[in-house]
Amino acid sequence: MLLHIEGVLTPDQVARFRDRLAASDWVDGKVTAGEQSAMAKRNLQVPEDAPVARELGEIILGALGRNPQFVSAALPLRVFPPLFNRYDEGMAFDTHVDNAIRFAGPVRFRTDVSATLFLTDPDDYDGGELVVEDSFGEHAVKLPAGDLILYPASSLHRVAPITRGSRWASFFWAQSMVRSDEQRTLLFNLDSAIQDLSARLGQGEPEVVSLAGTYHNLLRMWSQV
């Protein structure tokens, strides 16, 4: 499932993030890449243990926890602490697959879902599209600042070369309670239909109660917690 989630951060939050990141130190992005990815990766990152990364990451995690679309789509068990990168002119990240396991201190994460939260408006740079491959082909993604794209971590993907300007973003992964992307997609579509019916008919209607029961029984069957 490839999902665009609008307005995870407000314009004021994006401006604050930009100011804080502009004053930060940046290092070679290869520091968080696996062996294969390191050969393909040409960008800059804020160090994982930098105080500003922890500060801004907590704001993102709080926003995600309040975002019903993210919670419904990702069904997160754990969310990796958000990281921050930038692609300046000439930088890119060639086709790769994200590492299956990530470590945050002693905690291990299985990377089921990948996320990119854009911090630069599309008009401020050329190139820099996130290109995600699936069975339907390639999808080029370039979103407004504050918006997020969610996609399976198992997907082949790349960041196209920057030809003008600079593209800043936060990126992270989630370990889902439901490992299968197909099952997560079915649950998300069912939950979306339930929410729509609830708004139109009311939560107590028999059809809504029946569908909600089916949703929770499928979640009970497929979840790993």
Domains defined for the chain, CATH in brackets: 3-176 (2.60.120.620), 181-222 (4.10.860)
Residue 37's φ and ψ, nearest 5 degrees, are -65, -35
Q: Is the pLDDT of residue 31 over 80?
A: no
Q: Is the pLDDT of residue 36 over 70?
A: no
Residues 6+ apart with CB under 8 A from 16: none
Q: What is the reported pTM?
A: 0.93
**Residue 33: pLDDT band by 50, 70, 90 thresholds?**
low
Range 170-188 average pLDDT: 97
Name the residue with higher pLDDT: 27 or 40: 27
- Put residue 127 in one of left, alpha, beta given phi > 0 → left and psi -120 to 50 → alpha: left
Q: Is the pLDDT of residue 32 over 70?
A: no
Return the pLDDT at 175.
97
**Residue 41: pLDDT band by 50, 70, 90 thresholds?**
confident
Range 147-156 average pLDDT: 97
**Residue 130: pLDDT band by 50, 70, 90 thresholds?**
very high
Name the residue with higher pLDDT: 171 or 36: 171
Q: Is the pLDDT of residue 118 over 90?
A: yes
Range 132-148 average pLDDT: 95
Return the pLDDT at 24.
94
Mean pLDDT of the chain: 94
Return the pLDDT at 104.
87
Return the pLDDT at 35.
61
Return the pLDDT at 40.
80
